[in-house]
Amino acid sequence: MTLAPELKDTSPEKLLAPVLSAFWDEDESWTLDVYKRHEGYEGLRKALAMSPDDLIAYVKDSGLRGRGGAGFPTGMKWQFIPQGDGKPHYLVVNADESEPGTCKDIPLLFANPHSLIEGMIIACYAIRSSHAFIYLRGEVVPVLRRLHSAVSEAYAAGYLGKNILGSGLDLDITVHAGAGAYICGEETALLDSLEGRRGQPRLRPPFPAVAGLYACPTVVNNVESIASVPAILQRGKDWFRSMGSEKSPGFTLYSLSGHVASPGQYEAPLGITLRQLLEMSGGMRPGHRLKFWTPGGSSTPMFTEEHLDVPLDYEGVGAAGSMLGTKALQCFDETTCVVRAVTRWTEFYAHESCGKCTPCREGTYWLVQLLRDIEAGKGVMADLDKLNDIADNINGKSFCALGDGAASPIFSSLKYFREEYEQHITGRGCPFDPAKSTVWADSRTEVNA
Amino acid sequence: MTTSPSERGVSLGMPELPAPAYPDDVRARLETDAREIIARYPDSRSALLPLLHLVQAEEGHVTRTGMQFCADVLELTTAEVTAVATFYTMYRRRPSGDYQVGVCTNTLCAVMGGDAIFSELQEHLGVGNGETTDDGKVTLEHIECNAACDFAPVVMVNWEFFDNQTPDTAKRLVDDLRAGRPVEPTRGAPLCTFKETARILAGFPDERPGAVEASGGAGPASLVGLRLARGETAPARVVHPREGSSQDGDGAPQDRGAPEPSPSEHPSSHDAPQDTSASDPAHPAGPAAEEGE
């Protein structure tokens, strides 16, 4: 490796910033011992030395924004909790990671669950909560095991329970496994589910900060948001702000998947581009070109090759017409039929629509019917406008963001790939061979490092 | 299987008879577990999802008896419990196999090979979506995105990860499951049965020695960025001989006159209305006494 002068822009050492993932490769990285060897629970000590209000202000000043999709400032969410109201306060961690393409919280919890637990203790101290919940999707039993084990380690070590580290803070954490419903990633549906009901979203206001779990003030945060807090406390808000941009500071996990040479987790300062990530990681699979990709899961409008240089932060992606979402970079190459991809996503939304509101329940159903016809070569040109029209009747008119998410792939694929839809109609079928998109399609490969 | 006439036939206006209760010893044991679950929450109703996992751990699926039990301990109506049990996909409404094999067919996994894996498994096992092999070992299902896209295509068995699958590895996997050979997930613990898995989901930690440690730390894809950041490894460059790809098939994508699957055979015909436990006369969800032993 004598490439030193060549490193510059695309050098992974410069572009990446592993913090949460910094010791995932260590033996037993999920244990308390290993976590403590990596400054674990040091952030908590610093937090407990502050007053809760100062702590909230500190997290607010750090600029940390929610990593679950919407990007709402974490500290501000905490600040919204009314104090001195005499009601119990709750922290609920949204670990219902189910957005298609999103795969960051699950590996994080599998390899480093204590970062979440430490962050939860800090958050509960700030918002004056003595009972917190982790709502984990049920379909990930290996992660559930590690959470059970981490929570019990934390109790045994005095980080949970009564009078934590002599601070007077009492805290219990309940690990709650869901039962299979994408909608429970929506924060108010999650609260209904956690209350033992069907997971259906609630009308807002009142917001969870006022009337959340059991109608008490509740903070709902994403796993990665909370897990980022201990590092901010330990290394300081200035360190955190030295990464990323003014409005999108800090580091985050980018999840690269699909037809790329090296799918996986890449932790980097906000604002890195897909081009940089691909250049450092070997690009698309050899012999193929990027066709379309999602910046933050299937609910974020898709991008194409022309967006390779969009800075992947909240503002950059927003300005380019999409959303940073969960930073789930699903990359598809030229072998992939965009109609097939969008049809499958739409089937997902139809399946996961909770049925509460009509635009989403009926709209996603009819989108699926139209898309299946088009994919099968039975569509007519007027169907394309109808797709657009139905999506328009879902978008912004549904009870929650699931409907908006369902409309996103429709709008964006029609915008960038309308010709491909037309091909399906005029050619009476799909012009693509699905076998060419599979991982093993190019199986005559050699590996030479 | 105790099936009342009203469950089998079409009843007009006759209310369904109450579900039979669990045998006393089973009920006593479950009540102890239920108390432990309820104690975790400030409000008892929050225990409903874990309790449904618990009764599923008892019988392998959520029966009317199980729902009655949940209703009794939480002081809810059976209608309230049924409304919840039928909303969530992880609660089974009929007897199924020891091993639930779920193939991800959401867009990314489907495109990367999940569709091919799912259709080859259906053919190999001779069962369709949601069906169980004759030996009662394997229930095949297609599932939605399971948050492992960097390991695509993904297969889950009893909700443990089997990453980077191909049709061949998946067929070997189900063959091993049916033959009772030990099977180890790429991420997760050595497989337990579906019922045992459901008990973990109810919030009772897996007590098997080594279960938490099994399969080690993060999977390989999770570490790619970390290794690059340390300058440890340049990613392996997979060099593909280009002559290979242009000769098979006819080169450019072309019209194949795509066959049109009927809605029920469509790989994701999952938005079709499902029978509810109470409206499905072919599978009355009474207590499966022989399973409950």
> How close does chain B come to A270, measured CA to CA in Å?
15
What is the domain extent for residue A407?
A: 338-435
Q: B131 phi and psi, to 5 degrees?
A: -100, 160
What contacts A389, CB < 8 A, 6 or more positions away?
none
Query: What's the CATH code of the domain at A413?
Result: 1.20.1440.230
Minimal-distance CA residue of chain B relative to A266: B225
For residues A406 and A348, membership in a common domain is answered with yes
CB A31 within 8 A of CB A113: no
In the numeric block, which tokens belong to residue A221?
A: 């945060």
CA A69 to chain centre: 6
Q: Which of residues 374-413 of A touch B (CB under 8 A)?
A: 375-378
Within this chain, do residues A316 and A344 fall inside the same structural domain, yes or no? no
Judge: A140–B105 Cβ closer than 8 Å, yes or no.
no
Report CA-CA distances (Å) from A257 to A143, A225, A382, B218, B231.
20, 22, 34, 16, 21
- Asked whether residue A237 is domain-assigned, the answer is yes
Nearest to B125 by CA among B93, B108, B103, B146: B103
Question: How many other C-beta atoms can be found within 10 angstroms of the C-beta atom of residue A165?
Answer: 14
User: Do A411 and A265 have their domain in common?
Assistant: no
Looking at residue B7, its pLDDT comes to 53
Q: Give the relative orientation of helices A113-127 and A141-156 as an angle to the nearest 10 degrees.
A: 60
Residues of chain A with pLDDT under 70: 1-10, 444-449
Q: Looking at the complex, does the CB of residue A20 fall below 8 Å from at least one CB of chain B?
A: no
Same domain, A314 and A394: no
Rounded to an integer, what distance in angstroms lies between the CA atom of residue B115 and that of residue A339? 15
- Is residue A325 in a domain? yes
Q: Where are the domains of chain B?
A: 16-93+274-292, 99-192
As its CATH architecture, domain B99-192 has 3-Layer(aba) Sandwich (3.40)
Minimal CA separation from B5 to chain A, in Å: 30
pLDDT, tens only, B26-49: 999 999 999 999 999 999 999 999
Give strand pairing partners of A94: A135, A222
> Residue A97: its pLDDT value, please?
97
pLDDT at residue B15, as a whole number:
78
Domain count, chain A: 3
Give the pLDDT mean for B178-194. 95
Write the pLDDT tens digit of every residue in A271-309: 999 999 999 999 999 999 999 999 999 999 999 999 999
Residue A178 DSSP one-character state? -
- With CB atoms and an 8 Å threshold, state whether A444 touches B257: no
pLDDT bin (cut points 50, 70, 90) of residue B251 is very low
pLDDT tens string A371-407: 999 999 999 999 999 999 999 999 999 999 999 999 9
- Distance in Å, alpha carbon of B93 to nearest chain A alpha carbon: 13
> Are A116 and A261 contained in the same domain?
no
CB–CB contact A145 B40 (8 Å): no
Global pTM reads 0.90
CA triple B132-B152-A109, angle to 5 deg: 95
Helix (H) or strand (E) segment spanning residue A29: none
* Cβ contacts of A259 on chain B, cutoff 8 Å: 112
Q: Does domain B16-93+274-292 have CATH number 3.30.70.890?
A: no
Under 8 Å CB-to-CB from A245, ≥6 apart: which residues?
Answer: A270, A271, A311, A313, A315
User: Is residue A135 located within the same domain as residue A280?
Assistant: no
Contact B153, B109 (CB under 8 A): yes
Interface of A with B in 239-298 (CB under 8 A): 254-259, 261-268, 280-282, 285-287, 298
Contact between B43 and A340 using a beta-carbon 8 Å cutoff: no
Bridge partners for B138 per DSSP: B99
Closest-approach residue (CA) in chain A for B153: A439
Of the residues A278, A304, A333, which one is the last residue of a structural domain?
A333
List, for residues B225-241, the tens digit of each pLDDT value: 999 999 987 555 444 33
- Say which CATH number the domain at A109 has: 3.40.50.11540
* 3-state class (DSSP) for residue A252: strand
CB A217 within 8 A of CB A89: yes
Q: Do residues A232 and A307 both lie within one domain?
A: no
The answer to the question of residue A449 being in a domain is no
Of A241, A264, A281, the one marking the end of a domain is: A241
Whether ipTM > 0.90 holds is yes
Do A257 and A233 lie in one domain? The reply is no
Q: Are residues A305 and A390 in the same domain?
A: no
CA atoms of A66 and A187, how far apart (whole Å) = 13
Distances from the Cα of A422 to the Cαs of A285, A334, A368, A383, A426, in angstroms? 28, 17, 17, 10, 6
- Distance between CA atoms of A74 and A328, rounded to whole angstroms? 20
CA-based nearest residue to A41, from A127, A147, A129, A114: A114
Tell me if chain A has a CB within 8 Å of the CB of B205. Answer: yes
